[in-house]
Structure formats: structure tokens, C-alpha cells
Structure 1
């Protein structure tokens, strides 16, 4: 029997760096549980460079109960993405190994972003964020699932976890009988009243795939035909130009950097030296967003006795396809130009 399909929902991965508005940096894969559920409910998954879509059977319609669907974001190549993307989410910075999480809330089109401290297998050793100088200190651990239910822990005793020689507290966690999802790990020490709760996403497949992120869509009949977007924001930085003057005397001229479009201004901040050559340094006075379409019309000018000449008519933009070492402030993009 031929089936006709309608769109259940679609998700685009939006990124302000790209002229198309979408990022091509990810492969998108349903988790094993999600793919099985889609097949059981006669739904289809399709992805491309803009995002993905899920389709459902229109005739005959197969009713379904509310279900949380999960889709992994796996980076194809990470260098460029990390160089062009602002990964501060709600005041919290993404660090290597974290898991970026997007989830829907009601009928709002923009998915809510968050950061989880990485994914773990169902069987792993949890290391407390707390340490203790007291060799007699004991650790306490409580784990709750997404519904707030306490996961029973029996052996070893989660209330009397001894300190290791490294002054840490470790507990062998076995969640093999429980579903994939976010779990709250609540830890405390007998000699310290501070309680720390961390969320861990437990999913063997997500960990094995080294997924960068996860999209969670709570699917109900009310959100059928909805369009969602996961929004990534272009990184902004102060651009610092290092002009290495090899073929003239730097003392004989006044130099400047000009934006012919009049959007940004640059000031000379320093004189330096590299391999015996003088270096003239200019910083932008404003944060400049990176863009797939290079910013042109930035030029390097020299002036002597009122006579101006252009040394470079289109200055290079910061490089985004190589690993950049931090030189000085992390919010500064360094560009080296040899004259």
C-alpha cells in the first residue's frame, strides 16, 4: 500500500556566520531509541546541510503518544566551527567535552540552548567535583532521573564513599537498567556542607559518536507541522593587525588602518619587533563579527609630509580554518601582515 507523508516537524541549524544562514558543519543522526520509535510509528527521518525533517503517515494516520526524540549533532570538522562560533550559552562557556543541548518548549520556534558536562556510558566511574584534605572525610552521592526519581544505589554504600590517595571521591555507577537521558548527580562531603549538583547525559551511543550536541524534541500532536531552529551565533572579536615592516623604515612614516565603509575604526596600540624587523600594531576599537563573506575595504596607509599612499588595499581577515593559538587576550583575533 502506498503511503502519503506530511511533515511532523523540521529543524534548521542556523548560523549567522554563513551567507546562507545555515551551518553545514554537522552530520545529524537520530539516537538508536529515536530511530526505533520512528520506524514503529511509520515515520521518516531526512537530513541535509540545512538541518533535518521528520515525516509522519498522513493516510492512514497512525496516532502516537507524546515522545521525546533525540538527534545527535556530530561535527564533520571542528577547527573552523570553533573559530567562528560564540559558544557562550546563558553566561556559561562551552569547554571541550561538553554537550550542547537544544530542546523545544511549547510552540516556540527557537530551541532553548544549554550546556551539559558531556555524555557518559551507562556504566562509568563518577568523580566528585569536590576534593578534601581530610583523610577521614566521606563522600555522599544521590542520583535522580529526569522525573526527579531517586536511583537506588546499594553497593558500594553511596553515603560512605572513602577518599582516594588523590584526595578525590569516586563512585562506580551502573545505570544499565535505566533509560538514556539526563541524570542529576548530587554530591556532598561529611566535612563540608556544600552540596553540588551536576547534570550528566547518559547515553552509550552519544558518547561513542563523540557528539558535539544533542537536539531534543518533545513530539506531540500539537506541534505537528512545526518549524524549529537551533541558533548558533558568529564569534565577535577585536581584530589586531601586526604589520611587519621589512622593506622600509618604520620611523619615517605615519601609519593608519582605515575602513573605507566607515563601520570600524582602528588605533595604533604598540610598536614591537619580530626577527629584527619593526612591527606596527593596530587594534579595532569595536568588536567585529566574523563572516563567510570576507570583510573588504580595510586598507593599510602610510603618510609622509602630507602625502598618503595605500600599502595594502584589502587587508586579510582572521583565519578560521586552522588551529589558532591564543596570543594575549582570548577575545582578540591576530592577523600578521608582512610589508
Structure 2
């Protein structure tokens, strides 16, 4: 059985991807039981084995996808202690660091903890690993994200512009004010170009873990002038139920045949959709025994079947676009 903790935008997309691709028992839990029941009823025509359940019932699952609001660390600890593997969609630096500290607990209980299985981080790590195959060596990775998933994701985007960004630069971690460092980033159509700024994002931390050889890693997020001006104030306007079309841009720099090479790939899709598909594919692999090693991992690490995961994500309708020079 695969459990889903949270039936919001991301949790719904996880359930949809698993219902279509896999005829297995799916248990959905949400703090609002009505929301979980509505989701299970909507998808019951596709998969009759999906059901809304209680929190305690999720402890019987083989793997649980944490798709609810942050923080995920206390919930992950709860499931790891009972021998349940966990897939987290967290995109908060502090939460991801705390999740990484649960590696020994996961190893002790012989279960797997996957951290940052969303759009960015998550899909970004899979794309970096895929792009790196075309290089003799890679030394720089630069990530840019546009858009948000559900309300919780929108609030996290708001917080990311008010904190401090973290980046890996020539052997040391550098902190810069979030909202600084404007850079025009081009995403696949129909998203187009957006000004992106440094943000308090966990991508550099997780990508550096998966690619220790990197010399520079940065992450930026798109923002309007209003986003930056009001970033340090409480959200004055309630977030929408789901964001519009989002984008992910992954730029990898390295060497090939003795020459300096830059390769860029992008994704244009709703952020919640990408996060749901990625985490759903990871949960599916754990449920099938394709990922069985105990401990904490991030997508892109060599010990994971990244090529299989990426192919499944693309098969679920998420398209990767390669930037081609004129």
C-alpha cells in the first residue's frame, strides 16, 4: 500500500499519477477528512483501490508521500520509526536539513527517506543527472524556478524572498539576501522570460550532495517588483487555490572534449503537477523494490535509478525542452 499524507494540490496530483500508472492500494489522509474523501471518490473510477483513511492507518503502508504543509520532519520521523519509507516534497532549507539528519534513523529501521522529491528540488536533480551524461565533467549548476503549486507552496515562495539565499561558490557556502541578484531567465514557452532573484531555496544544498564535484551551484526564483517589496510583510492577499503555468530551468556547465560547454533544459508545466508526478514515481519505485537501500537520499544521487525515474516522469506527460542555439 502507498500512503499519501495531504490531499491538497500536490497530494491530489500524486494520487492521480499513481491511479493511472499503477493498480495498487492507495490510502489518502488529510487533516480535513472531507477533502480526502472527495479526492478518493473522484479517483475511484480509475482505481477502485483508493480510499480515504486515518493517520494511524498510514503506518501500514510500505511508503508514504508527504505532500502536506511544512514542516515534514516530525511526520517523517513518526513514519520512519514504525518502519515506513518516506518521500518528502519539502522545499524549505531548514526542513530539508532536519530531514537529512534522519538518515541514521532510516538506516536503523531499514527504510528509505527521499528528500525534496518535487519540482525544484526533485525534477531539477533528475535533469542535472541526465544532462551530466553528455559532459566529460561538470562543475556548475544553476537552477531557476517560476510559479507555485497550492497555497502552502505560495506561502513558501513568499518566505523564500524574505530570507537568505544559500549557494556553493568555489569551495564555500555563501549567503546572500534573498531578492537580490536579478537575472533574466528564459523558460520554455508558453512561460517565456522572467526576472529571477536569489531565494532561500534548498536546491544548492541537495544538488551539491548529489554532485560533490560541483564548484558552483545557485538557485533563483521568479518574482515581480511587488513580490520583492512585500516579501518581508505578511501575505496581504490570500494565495490562489493553485498557481498557473510554471517553469523550471536547469543550466549545467562543464567540459567536453577539452572545450567549455553549456547545456540548458527546461520544463513548462504547473508546479504542483510536476511535484506530484515526481514524488509519485519515486513512491512507485520504492513500492516495487527498485529503491530499497536504507538511509536518506536526494534525487540525482548515483545510488538511485535516476534514468528510470526520469523516463517515468516524462511518460506521465511532463515534457523536458532543450534550449537550442540559433
Q: TM-score range by the shorter chain?
A: under 0.3
- Name the TM-score, length of structure 2 as normaliser: 0.27
Q: Which structure has the bigger radius of gyration?
A: 1
Q: Which has the higher contact order (CA 8 A, sep 6+)?
A: 2
Q: Would you tell me which structure has more strand in proportion to its own residues?
A: 1
Q: Would you tell me which structure has more helix in proportion to its own residues?
A: 2
- Name the TM-score, length of structure 1 as normaliser: 0.26
